[in-house]
Structures are given as structure tokens and as C-alpha cells.
Structure 1
Amino acid sequence: MSLAIFDLDNTLIAGDSDHAWGEFLVEQGAVDAKIYREANERYFQLYQSGELDIHEYLAFSLKPLAENSPEQLAAWHQQFMAAKIEPIILPRAEELLARHRARGDTLLIITATNRFITAPIAERLGVDELIAIEPEVIDGRYTGRVSGVPSFQAGKVTRLEEWLSERDHTLDGSTFYSDSINDLPLLERVDTAIAVDPDEQLRAAAQERNWRIISLRDQ
């Protein structure tokens, strides 16, 4: 049984769920609109260029989880799924997942977006296995801090190795699909690397390494 690994944002969905959550919070009036939107955009651009300081970003992005009750967050997430995520789920991505599922592959999403945002998205896509950034929870509430190694850049490799060792799995026959230059460390570790609607830096890297480049968007 082979492992089929998928990045989430701009790979299986036509957008960035972390950035979209920030926009959603602004629309809900849950954060200071001007300050939060400007910071959200700045961090998003740093992510796209491969220059994001993940710990600085997490101090920003996890703060609203700590400032609101689990009940309020759950209600917001339901609205977020309907308004922001459902419209950007890619039918061709669902077909790709279905093909791997039919082959008997183990499906795994690995993402640099936190589990609060992404667990319901993975469930919606029918993917049981998820490696995501883990927000710390104490006494049922988010603290605003991160637990463990963030699954970002080389941290995705670290977290995947932990996951593999816990399940006695290997990367033999593994495939990883991603759009982002941030995922180069993991793309270089798997047996088959596939660039999906890649950013310019990843496209160049994929062409240099003769990796397959595909699109899951409507042409």
C-alpha cells in the first residue's frame, strides 16, 4: 500500500484556507479590520516568496483562537466552510483523491495551516490522515501557542517522519502533490514529486528536476 501525500492550500483547493480564515474573521468583525487585513496580506506574501517566519506568523494567526470560546469558533467554522471553502474545492482534486483511494493508497494531507482550520476540510475531502500545525489546547481552550514542530518547509519532513515511525509506514512508492516552493524539502524526499499548479519558483525547480507538472484547475 503506497502513500499518496497532498498539500492542501492551492493544491486540493483553489485558494489558501489560512488566508481565507483571516479574511473571514475580518468580515465577522472578530478582529480589527485594517490592522489584521494588512498583517494577513503581508504574511501571505512572505509565505508565497518562501520567506515566512513561521513562529512570528503563528503568534499572529493563533491569537484569535485563544481570544474566543470553542463554541464561537465552531459556529464560525461552520459558516467559513460554507462561505469560503466549499466554493473553492476543486472537482479534479476530488477525482485525483478518488483515483488514489481506488488503488488502495493511504491518503494523507500535510499542511502548514493549523488543524483547527484544516481538519474539517480534510474530512470534507474524505481524507482520514492529516498532518497540520497543532495549536496548543489546555483545559479545552486554545492558548495561542503552537504544540510541537510546525509542519512548514523542513518541518513537514520532520512531522512526516514522526507519523511514519508511529505507523510502521515507509516512503516506498510514495507520491507528494504540492503547489509551493515551501514544500521543496518534502518533494525531494518522496519517490514521486508532482507539482500542482505550481508557483513560479516551484515550476522552475520542477522543470530542472524533470518532475511532472499538472493542473487541477479548469482550463
Structure 2
Amino acid sequence: MALALFDLDDTLIAGDSASLWLEYMVAEELAPAGMVAEEQAMMSLYHQGKMDMHQYMAFTLQPLAGKTRQWLDSLCTRFAEQVLRERLYPQGLARIDWHRKQGDTLVLISASGEHLVTPMARMLGMDHCIAILLDEEEGLLTGQTRGTLSFREGKVARINQLFGGLDDPWQGSFGYSDSHNDLPLLQAVALPHAVNPAPRLRQAAEQAGWPCLHWQLVEEKVQ
């Protein structure tokens, strides 16, 4: 049994779940339209490797403050079915199925919030889900996070926390991601894979000799 660690955004799905979620909330009149431009400016910093994830989460979770977990889970399940399901890469689904047949432990690990990642983990039949945890008090969301953020080195820390009982959880492990922000994770696994890699990850993958996988929503036509 080996760990098979899959990033979500721009790896298993075409697009970023948090950005799509904000657009969904605006469309549902649950968030002000002006948040979209500011969120996109923050995402630009993410792609440059300069994002402050605590700041990003505090900003994007504002509309959820005071809401119940039950309300949010219901809405996010519907969002996953209506918006994210059709964005799943068939090649990613096939790779998950291959690992499942090998008896590997499937882990969806993301720097998006647990409210977005958990319904996708259920949809994909993953064994474990690691995402940024949402804080709550007296049954209501505070709009803040808790614990170690599963971002950059935080992903490695969260894996070590979850699988600390194993002698070496990284032995024989697989990793799949599109972003240079996941270099700490990809460098920790035994068998890293760059999926539709952004330029900085592609360069690192080529230098390290890692496989670069090209996943897409529609199969290319044979000429």
C-alpha cells in the first residue's frame, strides 16, 4: 500500500475551485460582485508564489461568517455537482482508478477550503481528504481558519500529522500537482508527477526528470 496524493485545482479539475466558488456565490447573491476582482488579484500573486494564504482565506471566507456548517455543506455539495463535476479530467479519473486497483491509499490534498474539497473527495471515492480547515464557534462559522494550512510546506506537515503512525508514510508514495507551490510535496514523495504544469513547475520537473502529464477535458483529435 502506498499513498497516492492528488492536488485538486488545475490538477484533477480544469480551473480553481475557490475562484469558481466565489463566482458561484456572487451569482447566488451570497457575496458582493466586487470581491471577484480582488480575489483574482490575489490569485495572480499565488501563481507568482507570493500569496499570503492566511490573508486570502480571511478575505474569501467573509461571506460565510455566521453561517451554519449544515447550510454550507448542502450548498457546496450542490456546487460540486453543478460546477466542478464537469471539469474533472478523464485522465485524472483513470489515474485514480489505477491507484485504487493497486490498493493504494487515495488522498485528495488541496490548499482550498475543506467546504470545497470534502464534497469532491466524496465524489471521487478518496480514502482521505486534506484541506484548509474552517473555524467555528457555537455551531457557526467564524470566517477564519484553524490548524496548519495545507499550503506549500503545510501539505507535507498535514500528511505527517495524518499518517504519523506509519514507519515511513512517504515510502513508495505518488504525488500529482500542477503548481510550483506544491514543490515541497512533490519533493517529499517517492514518485512525483507534474500535471499540466505551470512554467516554474515544468522547469523544475524537467531538471529533476519528473514525468509531465498532459490532461485535458476533451481528447485531441488524431490528424
Q: How many Å apart are 1:110 and its aligned residue? A: 1.0
Q: How many Å apart are 1:157 and its aligned residue? A: 1.1
Unaligned runs of 5+ in 2: none
Q: How many Å apart are 1:210 and its aligned residue? A: 0.7
Q: Distance in 1 between matches of 2:134 and 2:166?
A: 23
Q: How many Å apart are 1:75 and its aligned residue? A: 4.0
Q: How many Å apart are 1:54 and its aligned residue? A: 0.7
Report if aligned partners of 2:72, 2:115 keep a CA contact under 8 Å in 1.
Answer: no
What value does the CA root-mean-square deviation take over the aligned residues?
Answer: 1.5
CA displacement 1:95-119 (0-9 Å, x = unmatched):
1100000001111111000111110
Q: How many Å apart are 1:169 and its aligned residue? A: 5.5
Q: How many Å apart are 1:138 and its aligned residue? A: 2.2
In the alignment, does 2:21 pair up with 1:21? yes
Kindly provide the amino acid, as one letter, of the partner of residue 153 in structure 2. Answer: A
Moved more, 95-104 or 59-68: 59-68
Kindly provide the amino acid, as one letter, of the partner of residue 178 in structure 2. Answer: D
In the alignment, does 2:11 pair up with 1:11? yes
Match of 2:171 in 1: 172
Match of 2:158 in 1: 159
In the alignment, does 2:109 pair up with 1:83? no
Following superposition of structure 1 onto structure 2, how do residues 103-118 of structure 1 map, counting pairs within 5 Å?
Answer: 103-118=102-117
Q: Compared with structure 1, are the counterparts of its residues 74 and 158 closer, same or farther at alpha carbon in structure 2 (3 Å cutoff)?
A: closer
Kindly provide the amino acid, as one letter, of the partner of residue 21 in structure 2. Answer: W
Kindly provide the amino acid, as one letter, of the partner of residue 93 in structure 1. Answer: G
Name the TM-score, length of structure 2 as normaliser: 0.92
Q: How many Å apart are 1:26 and its aligned residue? A: 1.0
Q: Distance in 1 between matches of 2:86 and 2:192?
A: 27
Kindly provide the amino acid, as one letter, of the partner of residue 19 in structure 2. Answer: H
CA displacement 1:109-167 (0-9 Å, x = unmatched):
11000111110011101112011100112222211111111000111111111112145
Unaligned runs of 5+ in 1: none
**Aligned residues: percent identity?**
37
Q: How many Å apart are 1:5 and its aligned residue? A: 0.7
Following superposition of structure 1 onto structure 2, how do residues 129-168 of structure 1 map, counting pairs within 5 Å?
Answer: 129-166=128-165
- Match of 2:188, SS? coil
- Match of 1:95, SS? helix
Name the TM-score, length of structure 1 as normaliser: 0.94
Q: How many residues align?
A: 218
